[in-house]
Amino acid sequence: MSAAAILGSDLVSLRDAIASRAISAEAATRATLDRAERLNPTLNAFHELHAERAIARAREIDVRLARGDAVGPLAGVPIAIKDNIATSWGSTTCSSKILAGFKSPYDATIVERLESAGAILFGKTNMDEFAMGSSGETCAWGPVRNPWDTSRVPGGSSAGSAAAVAAGICHAALGSDTGGSIRQPAAFSALVGLKPTYGRVSRYGLVAFGSSLDQIGPLTRSVRDAALVHSVMAGHDHRDSTSATELVGDPVGACDDRAADPASLKGLQVGIPSQYLTGNHPGVDALFARARAQLHGYGATLVEVELPLTEVGISTYYVIAPAEASSNLARYDGIRYGHRTEQSGDLFDLYSRSRSEGFGTEVKRRIMLGTYVLSSGYYDAYYRRALQVRRLIKQEFDTAFAKCDVILGPTAPTPAFRIGAVQDPVTMYMNDVYTVNANIAGICAVSLYGGMAKDSTGSAGDGTASPDLPIGLQLQAPAFQEPRLLAIACAFESMLGRAPVSPIAPIG
Ligand code: GLN
């Protein structure tokens, strides 16, 4: 099997080819590493590549396969992980100067689970600093670029993970999603991005941002691939007290050929919130309309539902997430982790200089905002109020799901924008209008490739025409319904069509 065939196939096919020894795990890992080394100078997707360790582990898998030993469901498959997931090898930096060179003493639970399933974790991907952002531009190691158009952002905060998969470096990468950071970069990069139900996947070893919102999930090129990676990670973990004990079910089995047949859409009740129909880029509106027409054609029922708090979700999220972040990030004090200032007087000076030097602008903004909304006098007006609205948002979803199986809408209101084009933080936050409420309500959601659109806005200013850009569509489902959500997503994927390969250097 050639490198092109390895990288061009899907994860499940690659896994099967390795298991049947049509290709070695080592060859698969080398193909991934070569491509990562070649493209990283352009994309800045990776902070670190761990070639030696990855190849050694791939060889172990090959030896076990040659002996006929049992191997796990991801044996030999290279997977990239976001740099806010702790690994006992290499560094874990959250793309922040304050954690430069930080070495975790332990592995995150999901790192252990993926490695015991045989996955080859080969690199840590760049991200918005501490996962705060929607573009990959707040990364302390420079902006990440979108393989579809390298003058544009890949979305964020799981920017490097999205860029790596979209560029054909690997078939799956892990992201974390606090308010959309798996789904929005998936949408900007023509990928599948799954945000599991809150508590479905262990957060042990995920550097905390918004502890009541954070979840880890996969970015892949197909729904079946996402289901496979998710199934390995999902399930109770006694080391995470918020981890759920509900049964995981069979997300992989749910994605069978019957599910993938769009005929299975017949009779499905698909909720369409009126709030999702306006205010989007014309390309987003057109592809959302096309999907509704296709659904109608396959015999699904389009159900009008109301989510009036859609936009209020942004204000709610940008109170709750910074509040939790301000508390979570208090531990980076220049003493226990990472960066410590060179010059300091007393202890207070040491704290304040280390934090001033170590954190970037967006992180500082969130810490200030979070501290403010939690301070006595403002707590009731902002934080307590946001928690009350959180409850209403949950209720709104409950009411909507009483009338439909899933809710369909755009993942983001626009396609990928140009690097540097969005300077105003509130404009940046509006990108998350369709994604934050799933985190606020703790439900599961997946972004799928919805088609390509032209973007005449935000031109490069040099007269060059923009290539077509991917648009994502999102399906949201009630908590703990991942198997059903993924089964429905399989049918949608067949209906909507698979994404073409990104134009970055042809694979091979
Ligand atoms: N863009 C959102 C934020 O900046 C979401 C980030 C995330 O999901 N990690 O907070």
CA distance 94 to 206: 10
157 counts as catalytic: yes
User: Cα separation of 174 and 169, whole Å?
Assistant: 13
CB 39 within 8 A of CB 167: yes
What residues does each domain of the chain span? 1-307+394-424+434-508
Mean pLDDT, residues 106-135 taken together: 98
- Return the pLDDT at 503: 87
Half-sphere exposure of 392 (CA within 13 A, CB side): 15
506 CA → ligand 1 middle, Å: 31
| % helix, strand, coil for the chain, step of 5 | 45, 15, 45
Does the C-beta of 215 come closer than 6 Å to ligand 1? no
Find where tokens 């954070």 sit.
214
| Three-state DSSP state, 64 | helix
Q: pLDDT grade, residue 467 (50/70/90)?
A: confident
Dist CA 151 CA 136 (whole Å): 13
305 pLDDT above the threshold of 90: yes
Locate 222 and state its tokens.
Answer: 């197909």
Atom number in ligand 1 closest to CA 366: 10
Query: CA 355, CA 353: separation in Å to the nearest integer?
Result: 5
Ligand 1 mutation target, pool 95, 129, 132, 183, most atoms within 8 A of CB: 132
pLDDT over threshold 80, residue 460: no
Report the run of H or E that residue 219 belongs to, with start and end: strand 215-220
CA distance 247 to 229: 17
pLDDT of residue 345: 85
Distance 75 CA to ligand 1 centre (A): 32
Active site residue 104: no
pLDDT value for 501: 86
Is the pLDDT score of 508 beyond 60?
no
Location of structure tokens 């250097």: 505
| pLDDT above 80: residue 369 | yes
Give the pLDDT score at 463.
Answer: 53
236-287: pLDDT as tens digits: 999 999 999 999 999 999 999 999 999 999 999 999 999 999 999 999 999 9
- Evaluate: CB of 157 within 6 angstroms of ligand 1: yes
Q: What is the pLDDT of residues 33-84, one digit of tens each?
A: 999 999 999 999 999 999 999 999 999 999 999 999 999 999 999 999 999 9
Let me know: does 175 contact 192? Beta carbons within 8 Å: no
Catalytic residue among 24, 82, 222, 231: 82
pLDDT-derived band of residue 457, with 50, 70 and 90 as boundaries?
low
> How far is the centre of ligand 1, averaged over its atoms, from the C-alpha of 57 (Å)?
33
Active site residue 176: no
Instruction: Assign 3-class secondary structure to 354-366.
Output: HHHHHCCHHHHHH
Residue-wise DSSP of 146-180: BTTBTTB---SSSHHHHHHHHTTS-SEEEEEESSS
Expressed in angstroms and rounded, the spacing between residue 417 Cα and the centre of ligand 1 is: 16
pLDDT at residue 4, as a whole number: 78
Digit-coded pLDDT (tens) for 176-230:
999 999 999 999 999 999 999 999 999 999 999 999 999 999 999 999 999 999 9
**CA gap 199, 433 in Å, rounded:** 22
Check: CB of residue 241 under 8 Å from CB of residue 205.
no
Strand partners, 472: 449
Which two three-digit tokens encode residue 417?
A: 């924008």
Give the up-direction half-sphere exposure of residue 91: CA atoms within 13 A in the CB hemisphere: 16
Site to substitute for ligand 1 among 82, 128, 176, 427, most atoms within 8 A of C-beta: 128
Q: Which residues of 237-246 are buried (b: 16+ CB within 10 A; e: fewer)?
A: beebeebbee
Residue 495: how many CB atoms within 10 A of its CB? 20
From residue 456, give the alpha-carbon distance in Å to each of 277, 416, 459. Answer: 21, 12, 6
pTM of the model: 0.97
pLDDT of residue 462: 53
The residue ranking higher by pLDDT, 18 or 1, is: 18
Q: What would the CATH number be for the domain defined by 1-307+394-424+434-508?
A: 3.90.1300.10
Atom of ligand 1 nearest to the CA of 439: 8
Residue nearest to atom 10 of ligand 1 (CA): 132
Ligand 1 midpoint to CA 89 (Å) = 26
State the Cα torsion 321-324-330-331 to the nearest 10°: -110
How far is the CA of 431 from the CAs of 131, 167, 175, 443, in angstroms? 15, 23, 18, 19
| Beta carbons of 153 and 135 less than 8 angstroms apart | yes
Ligand 1 pocket test, candidate residues 83, 96, 127, 134, most atoms within 8 A of CB: 134
Question: If you count DSSP H runs as helices and E runs as strands, how many of each does the chain have, helices first?
Answer: 18, 11
The structure tokens listed for 86 are: 């702790």
Q: How far apart are CA 385 and CA 114, in angstroms?
A: 39
DSSP string covering 445-500:
EEEEEEEEE---SS--SSSPPPPPEEEEEEEEE-TT-HHHHHHHHHHHHHHH-PPP
pLDDT of 459 > 90? The answer is no
pLDDT at position 194 is 98
- Marked catalytic residue, from 13, 24, 181, 202: 181
What is the spatial distance between Cα 172 and Cα 227, in angstroms, rounded to a whole number? 11
**pLDDT digits over 81-92, tens only?**
999 999 999 999
* Residue 444 beta carbon below 6 angstroms from any ligand 1 atom: no
pLDDT of 456 higher than 80: no
Rg of the chain over all Cα atoms, to the nearest angstrom = 22
**pLDDT interval class at 9 (50, 70, 90):** confident
Q: State yes or no: pLDDT of 401 exceeds 70.
A: yes
**162, 80 contact by CB (below 8 A):** no
Question: How many CB atoms sit inside 10 A of residue 297's CB?
Answer: 11
Q: Count Cα neighbours of 169 within 13 Å in the Cβ-side half-sphere.
A: 34
